[in-house]
Amino acid sequence: MNKLKYKLFIPHIVLFLLAIQFLGDTIIRSDDISNWQLDDFLTYFISLVTAFSFWLLFAWLTVSLQRIHWLMAFPGVFIVFLIETVILILCYGYFDYFNAMPNFYSWEYILEEPTDVYAILTSTLKITHFLVLTISTALLSGIWYWQIGRYRDKKFLSYSVFAALFFFLIGSAYIFINVRQIDQSSVPDVNSVAAISSIAMDQYWHNTTTTGSGLKKANRIEIPQSKAEVPANVLIIVNESLRRKNLHAFGYPVDTTPIMSNFLKTHENEVFIFQNAYANATTTMLSLTSMLTGVSTVQTSDILHQSPLVFDYAKSLNYQTFFVSAQSFAWRNFDVFFETPSLDIFWNKEIGFAPRVHDIGTDDRLMIREFKKSMQRIDKKPFLGVVHTNCNHYPYFSQQPSGSLLDRYNQSIQFLDNQFDEIIKQLLESELLDKTIIIFTSDHGEAFGEHNYFGHLRTFYEEESGIPFWIYIPQALQKYYGEKIETLRTNTKLNISNVDLVPTVIDLLKVPKIPEVIRNNFLGNSLLNPFDPNRYIFMLNNNEVSNYKIFLSLGVISGDYKYMLIKKGSAFREVTFNIRLDQDEINNLTNVHHKLVDDIQAEIRKYDSARKILELAQQNPYNK
């Protein structure tokens, strides 16, 4: 019996490492695991065997090197445990923030967008985090080295080494092949290494990337030239991650925007505040491109890339145009997509050689400076401009951030309010405020734990999809729209979305010559015209343009109801809420309103990207 123990030893630290992951998974991911299918459990078991085999092989390698010299194995041991510790911290930290484990597409994004990831990490991590990482790595390495050193005088049976190698190779191959299909079902370290290996093979061996992983150069339909009928300028203020519920004008008890609140109150008869506005996506890449083209996220990439930008409509009237952004456009071909001869002035972090100050963007104050320069260059000629802010993106920029994440977010909104003040002052100084229509909106909102996760990208709950939206039309310009002003006021009570922005601008500028193919492509409506209060508003984060299956989700709003499919682990939750009576979105009415759900699903099936998510959800329903 002693001889058997002597030859087939299993170091306690190997069992300890496996126990950490197993207990961590069963406690932290219990909801996900309760919805696993047989193939999920099989994958998890195989990943545990693979991890067990790896640590046995690593123990054998450590012993072999220690026999040569007792310190020879230590650098390798430290590096392995550094990687292991980093992966586990990233995976469980990711889960704590998003309530989901990183999958293949999460790691693909991390590897393909290192600048973005670096910006987030440097904004989040403190010296204490590095100290904890260093101490944890050194402690685990030391325990491993001490434990394994006790076996320097012992020998592995040769067949046990080959058995461990066999199970490691077979298990690794299975996980590697299925890492995209069987999502988030392996232990974190095995899943992460398999995903990274698969991505590396795709990019550096096969020279391929994920289908639908970015934008491309557009071939847009031309708008015929015509003469302007309304002496109106248009300024569109697009904010980043600004949610509706944290602005006083939309019911927030604390006035985070006193300057804006005063402006809205002072110009009460000239301002149209839409209380039920929604994003088209909760990822900037899809939301911004949808917003500035009028193309819904459920429509095809071809439609998106042939549709004119909002600047093209203004340029057809011989307007001056500008687009100034505090964000980086050197990702996902943003810079390529927004190339257009219709833009007279285009400025962003890269074009302006601006320093990276916040996230991957720059300081909004630098962007406001460029806005003022643009206004001076325009010199009171008719214009359409877009101002694109950045400060409300995580980790929420302000001059002296402090407190909780929500506190910092509110401070960033106060900082934004100061930039809004600068915009209004510039319009006043230029004597253009009473000649300029202002549209204020956001690409999406931000979550702060309301439904057990933070940030955006994940779902379309109110905190993430609900956005502020208001239009300022000076009294002097309202006469050009007649009864449409009253219609606009009536529509403030209805559901709208950013996909309505371009059709509304077309009406505000009275662009007369719009090719029929463009009008037929619009799923949105002009807010100056009557529309069906029960029309369908789509929200989607995965389509032909952005096929990163990090968080597969789908949202549809119709009247008082919101329908969502939310991926949780390998399964999908199906939820329906009455967003008027249940603003916290707690009471799931899916099993109550069968006809409503059937009608929404019939509408979903009309669009390929949305239909695929619906079919996948129906194959993998969530049990709770």
Cα separation, 393 vs 124, whole angstroms: 13
Q: Which domains does the chain have, with CATH numbers?
A: 2-205 (no CATH), 233-533 (3.40.720.10), 553-619 (3.30.1120)
Query: How confident is the model at residue 537, as a pLDDT?
Result: 98
Query: How confident is the model at residue 7, as a pLDDT?
Result: 46
Res. 274: pLDDT tops 90: yes
Query: How confident is the model at residue 588, as a pLDDT?
Result: 96
Name the pLDDT band for 601 (thresholds 50, 70, 90): very high
- Calculate mean pLDDT across residues 177-185: 79
Query: How confident is the model at residue 147, as a pLDDT?
Result: 81
Most confident segment among 18-22, 35-39, 289-293, 401-405: 289-293
- Calculate mean pLDDT across residues 608-618: 93
Query: How confident is the model at residue 5, as a pLDDT?
Result: 42
Res. 550: pLDDT tops 70: yes
Name the pLDDT band for 29 (thresholds 50, 70, 90): confident
Res. 80: pLDDT tops 60: yes
Question: Considering only 6-10, 440-444, 548-552, which range has the smallest mean pLDDT?
Answer: 6-10
Question: Considering only 16-30, 164-178, 231-245, 529-543, which range has the smallest mean pLDDT?
Answer: 16-30
Instruction: Tell me how many degrees the CA angle 422-426-431 measures, rounded to the nearest 5.
Output: 150
Res. 1: pLDDT tops 50: no
pLDDT above 90 covers a percentage of the chain that reads 59
- Calculate mean pLDDT across residues 14-21: 83
Query: How confident is the model at residue 19, as a pLDDT?
Result: 86
CB atoms within 10 A of CB 252: 16
Query: How confident is the model at residue 265, as a pLDDT?
Result: 96
Name the pLDDT band for 207 (thresholds 50, 70, 90): low
Res. 9: pLDDT tops 60: no
Query: How confident is the model at residue 36, as a pLDDT?
Result: 83
Query: How confident is the model at residue 624, as a pLDDT?
Result: 57
What pTM, to 2 d.p., does this model score?
0.89
Question: How many angstroms separate the Cα of 309 from the Cα of each of 314, 393, 471?
Answer: 9, 24, 19
Res. 65: pLDDT tops 70: yes
Cβ-defined contacts of 177-183 (< 8 Å, 24+): 178/43, 179/104, 180/104, 182/39, 182/40, 182/43, 182/570, 183/103, 183/104, 183/549, 183/569, 183/570
Query: How confident is the model at residue 622, as a pLDDT?
Result: 73
Residue 84 vs residue 555, higher pLDDT: 555
Q: Which residues pair with residue 170 across a beta bridge?
A: none
